[in-house]
A and B are shown apart, each in its own frame.
Chain A
Amino acid sequence: MFAIERQNKIKDILLKEKRVDVYELSQRFAVTEVTIRRDLDKLEKEGYLIKIYGGAVLKEDFSPESEQPVVEDETLEEKKLIGKIASQMIENDEAIYLSPGVTCLEIAKNLKKKKLTVVTNDISIGAVLKDCAGIKTIITGGDLIPSTFTLVGEFALQTMKNMFINKAFISVKGIHFQSGFTVNSHEEVRVLEEIKKISNEIIIVADYTKFNNTAFARLGDITMSGKIITNKQIPGEYKAFFFENNIKLYTTYEFE
């Protein structure tokens, strides 16, 4: 059954029994607890329930307009989907690079059960990976760009000497036919150029809002990478272009 149906049934149960339990629901609907938690998240956002430890209770004075969620990243869902596909491409015992940003952060969140080496110059990504037993995390040194989690500069470049990376996941701020792949600053470009030199494969990741956008610093042509992971909402001309230029374009879909 589909998510909407399940969520509707959960609402029915809540109305009758006033509370639900994650484990019971997962057994009843024969889905994982993660799936049930996602359902409960959604229903909480819509104001039907309040989550408690192990389950949720019906929100008695339910009104749809209350409980507006804190303004989040509009494309967080899309970034999560990208994270899922990217993690699917990573095999155990590989050495990967994750570039700064929320998109790669979402990739990191999907790596919990893997055994690998992750190199990054984003300190928040390092933090997310700290409790992953099988992952050897290497955070480069460097100067922290103010108001960001990104490390750049001579010390960052130093860390990367004598390293070899199997797959580098590079997140960009702009993807445009003429201006190519662009990021915020030239310091970031400098680090990424070094990454390009030591990596076997570059995979560009970006949510759909980055298309037809141009940021300040140019990283390269849009044909510089053989694989791109983004979302299905990108303009059709880009889909056709990448296909015709022998570049694998992965776009995310969600069916559950």
Chain B
Amino acid sequence: MAVYNDFLEMRNITKSFNGNKVLDKCCFSVKQGEVHALVGENGAGKSTLMKILAGLFTADEGEILIDGRAVSISTPKQSQDLGIAMIYQEVRLFSDLSIAENIFINREPLKSPKFLRLIDWDSVYSETRKYMKQFSLDINPHTPVKNLSAGQKKFVEIIKALSQNARIIIMDEPTNALTEQEIDILFNVIRELKSIGKTVVYISHRIQEIKRIADRVTVIRDGRIVQTDDVESVDINTIIKAMADKEVDDRYPKLNVKPGPVIFKAQNVNLEGRLFDVSFDVRKSEMFGITGLSGSGRSTLARVLFGIDGGYSGVIEINGKKLKAITPKIAKKNGLCFVTGIGTGEGLINNMDISKNITITDLLRVSRLGMIDSGMEFHYARDFIDRLGIQASEKEIVDNLSGGMQKKVIFAKWLFTNARILIIDEPTAGIDISSKVDIYNIINELVLSGSSIIMISSDFPEIIGMCDRIAVMFNGRIQKILQRGECTQEKILYYASGGK
């Protein structure tokens, strides 16, 4: 893809709020048709810099050039007219309107004669369908936005930006509330944008993603631009170092609980071609993390440990009891459970209400004389809804719940079985921030009451922030097990990329 000269240039941008200098002589330039990542810690200034571009703030000093010409951006409209579109972390769509209505709001094509101001709805819907097809998005444009997943809402915002003839699309932490599958789709959309000549500025703190999607990366720290590099040639570790001298794990509510004796052991677990010689142990009241990059085998390992994928060799020991050929039934009987991701379809039963989903794991407890007692079902469900802070009625169908609520119902399901060892796959993927905080605290309480957690996560700050020990996997092997105090993102990346 041919790359032109700097199409957007910000020079010496300085901005203070109430005497605090937030941006200090920042120089940032973007070439047309590239995906340029802007990375930095929270509070480093990346959002502020982009909000100046979006017309929300005006810089105290400095200038902005587009296509080599100096421009003045003092209102969001001016920014939009220049072809700059900003997609914020929070969704800015009208949830009761459909996808198409959101995209064309205030700009609906009119039927002739135009003075009658009759909206040409056929046009609205067919245009929307065209855009969705272009990005291989298979959603009905009549769908009200509130029924969409977090990822789908993001795509609608991107399409809306495009339909307003945006030349440059700025995405602020776009993957925060997306599942891994949705992230893959998002990246495809971004590649498609590139191919039609659009420019993308991608603000993120997730280094692994930058490697996958960006052409160049700029690091901002404490209001200053530190460096700009080509993603292909730069060593990600230097990016991490440049971002901060402290870790981004200060926000995770970690409770230091003294671990007890070993209650779970995996020894020399092998799965033909996928897992090699995996051995580790987990103690009571411990949070044990397993991480690695895509394809490292972490999800496979989780499924093997719970017995979903059989055909493995090696020993799995729970509470000193050696189990051969573990199956989900045997696992459950021994207090081991698997809290799956919400998008996988394995966690909840669709079209069934919350109470049925919770009690399904142990129907005997809610049966009398061989028949299910709905009163008891609802009773237990209400108790869990209370304890876990699920804001819904026990009769609500799970499909209508948000990602965070669904995750809590999955937790409730396993807590109902008195599970003592919980394997949690991506605890907070696809969940809003408020629910993330809830999940961390739920896990804390579990650990405090004596349960053990095996947490599988691709979110490095999360796993560093919450776990006591972390196993880093690469190509089906555990490369290293790190202790909490010595773990940094750089170290994880090193082992996750094959370091020894």
Cβ of B5 within 8 Å of any chain A Cβ, yes or no, is no
Q: Which of B253, B444, B449 has the most CB of A within 10 A?
A: B253
Which of B50-58, B143-151, B272-280, B435-443 lies at the binding interface? B435-443
- Tell me the residues in window 206-256 of chain A with beta carbons closer than 8 Å to chain B beta carbons: 226-227, 232-233, 236-237, 239-240, 242-256
B43: chain A residues at CB < 8 Å are: 245-246
Question: Do A254 and B438 contact each other (CB < 8 Å), given the known contacts A246-B250, A248-B251, A248-B252?
Answer: no
Query: B254 an interface residue at 8 Å Cβ cutoff?
Result: yes
Q: In the complex the two chains form, is A4's CB within 8 Å of B42's CB?
A: no
Asked, given contacts A248-B251, A250-B253, whether A236 binds B387 with beta carbons under 8 Å apart, the answer is no
Chain B contacts with A in 149-202, Cβ cutoff 8 A: none
Known: A88-B257, A249-B437. A255 touches B415 (CB 8 A): yes
Convert B369-409 into 0s and 1s, putting 1 for each residue whose CB lies closer than 8 angstroms to a CB of A: 00000000001100100011100000000000000000000
Task: State which of A88, A240, A244 has its C-beta within 8 Å of the C-beta of B448.
Answer: A88
- Cβ B251 vs Cβ A239 within 8 A: no
State A175–B43 Cα separation when bound (angstroms): 22
Interface size on B, residues (CB 8 A): 33
Residue B445 interfacial (CB < 8 Å): yes
B387, A255: Cβ atoms closer than 8 Å = yes
One of A85, A240, A254 near B433 (C-beta < 8 A): A240
**Quick check: B445 and A239 within 8 Å, CB to CB?**
no
Interface size on A, residues (CB 8 A): 30
B251 (CB) vs chain A CBs: closest residue: A246
Interface status of B434 (Cβ within 8 A of chain A): yes
Residues of A within 8 A of B445 (CB): 252-255
Determine the chain B residues whose CB is within 8 A of the CB of A70 once the complex forms: none
CA of A243 to CA of B379 in the docked complex: distance in angstroms? Answer: 33
Knowing A4-B383, A232-B441, A233-B389, the reply to whether A250 touches B434 (Cβ < 8 A) is no
CB of B255 within 8 A of CB of A88, answer yes
Give chain B residues whose Cβ lies under 8 Å from the Cβ of A30. none
A52 partner residues in chain B, CB cutoff 8 A:
none
Residue in A233, A236, A247, A252 whose beta carbon sits within 8 Å of that of B251 in the complex? A247
Q: Say whether A1 faces chain B, with CB atoms less than 8 Å apart.
A: yes
Q: Give bound CA distance, A245 to B43, whole Å.
A: 8
Q: How far is the CB of B380 from chain A (nearest CB, A)?
A: 8
Q: Is B418 an interface residue (CB 8 A)?
A: yes
Expressed in whole angstroms, the minimum distance between the Cβ of A130 and any Cβ of chain B is 28
Residues in A neighbouring B434, C-beta threshold 8 A: 236-237, 239-240
Q: Given A85-B255, A244-B42, A248-B251: A253 and B442 within 8 A (CB)?
A: yes
Instruction: Select from chain A the residue with minimum beta-carbon distance to B418.
Output: A1
Determine if A89 is an interface residue (Cβ-Cβ < 8 Å). Answer: yes
Distance between B259 CB and nearest chain A CB, rounded to angstroms: 14
For B448, give the chain A residue with the smallest CB separation: A88
Measured in the bound complex, the distance between the Cα atoms of B393 and A121 in whole Å is: 44
Closest residue of chain B to A1 (Cβ to Cβ) is: B418
CB nearest to B386 among chain A residues: A254
Q: What is the 8 Å Cβ interface bit string for chain B, positions 326-354, against chain A (1 contact, 0 not)? A: 00000000000000000000000000000
- Complex Cα spacing A79 to B171, Å: 41
- Cβ-defined partner of A246 (8 Å) among B42, B379, B415: B42
- Inter-chain contact B388/A253, CB cutoff 8 Å: yes
Q: Most chain-A Cβ atoms within 10 A of its Cβ — which of B248, B380, B387?
A: B387
For A254, the chain B residues whose CB sits under 8 A away are: 387, 445
A88 to B257, CA, bound (A): 8
What separation, in Å, do the CA atoms of A253 and B444 have in the docked complex?
9
Q: In the complex the two chains form, what is the Cα distance from A254 to B387 in whole Å?
A: 6
B446 in the interface (beta carbon within 8 A): yes
Asked whether B251 lies within 8 Å of A243 as measured between CB atoms, the reply is yes
Beyond A88-B257, A237-B434, A244-B433, whether A251 also contacts B441 by CB under 8 A is: yes
Cβ B438 vs Cβ A232 within 8 A: yes
B444 near A250: Cβ-Cβ < 8 Å: yes
Minimum C-beta distance from A38 to chain B (A): 14
Within 8 Å CB of A89, what residues of B? 255-256
Q: Please state if B415 and A250 are interface contacts (CB–CB under 8 Å).
A: no
Whether A242 touches B387, Cβ cut-off 8 Å, given contacts A88-B255, A247-B251, A252-B445, is: no
0/1 string, B238-263, CB within 8 A of A gives 1: 00000000001011111111000000
Residue of A nearest to B252 (CB): A248
**Chain B residues within 8 Å of A249, by CB:** 253, 437, 441
Residues of B contacting A236 in the complex (Cβ-Cβ under 8 angstroms): 432, 434-435
List B54-94 residues whose CB lies under 8 Å from chain A. none
Selected from B254, B255, B432, the residue in CB contact (under 8 A) with A240 is: B432
The interface residues of chain B lying within 8 Å CB-to-CB of A2 are: 383
Residue of B nearest to A233 (CB): B389
Residue of A whose beta carbon sits closest to that of B445: A253
Q: Give the complex CA separation of A254 and B441 in angstroms.
A: 10
Which chain A residues in 78-134 approach chain B with CB under 8 Å? 84-85, 88-89
Chain B proximity of A10: nearest CB distance (Å) = 17
Chain B minimum-CB-distance residue to A254: B387
Residues of chain B within 8 A (CB-CB) of A251 are 437-438, 441
Task: Name the distance in Å between A226's Cβ and chain B's nearest Cβ.
Answer: 7
Known: A233-B389, A246-B251, A247-B251. A255 touches B446 (CB 8 A): yes
Q: What is the distance, in angstroms, from B94's C-beta to the closest C-beta of chain A?
A: 20
* Known A240-B433, A240-B434, A255-B415: A250·B441 in contact at CB below 8 Å: yes
Q: How far is the CA of A237 from the CA of B380 in the complex (A)?
A: 29
Beta-carbon contacts under 8 Å, B186-222 to A: none
B251–A255 CB distance below 8 A:
no
Minimal beta-carbon separation of A78 from chain B (angstroms): 12
**Within 8 Å CB of B255, what residues of A?**
85, 88-89, 250
Chain B, residue nearest A235 (CB): B434
A205 smallest CB distance to B (angstroms): 13
Alpha-carbon distance between A247 and B42 when the two chains are bound, in angstroms: 12
Contacts of B435 in A (CB 8 A): 236
Contact across chains for B436 and A243 when beta carbons are under 8 A apart: yes
Shortest CB–CB separation between residue B152 and chain A, in angstroms?
21
Which residues of A have CB within 8 Å of B380?
A: 4
Task: Tell me how far the C-beta of A110 lies from the nearest C-beta in chain B, rounded to whole angstroms.
Answer: 12
Question: A1-B418, A88-B257, A248-B254 known; A253 and B441 CB under 8 Å?
Answer: yes
| Residue ranges of B at the interface with A (Cβ–Cβ < 8 Å) | 42-43, 248, 250-257, 379-380, 383, 387-389, 415, 418, 432-438, 441-442, 444-446, 448-449
Contact sample, A vs B, 9 pairs, CB 8 Å cutoff: A4-B379, A4-B380, A84-B448, A85-B255, A239-B438, A245-B42, A245-B43, A252-B441, A255-B445
**4 extra A-B contacts, CB within 8 A, seeds A236-B434, A249-B253:** A243-B433, A250-B253, A253-B445, A254-B387
Interface residues of A (CB under 8 A from B): 1-2, 4, 84-85, 88-89, 226-227, 232-233, 236-237, 239-240, 242-256
The 5 A-B residue pairs whose C-beta atoms are closest, nearest first, are A236-B434, A239-B434, A253-B445, A240-B433, A239-B437
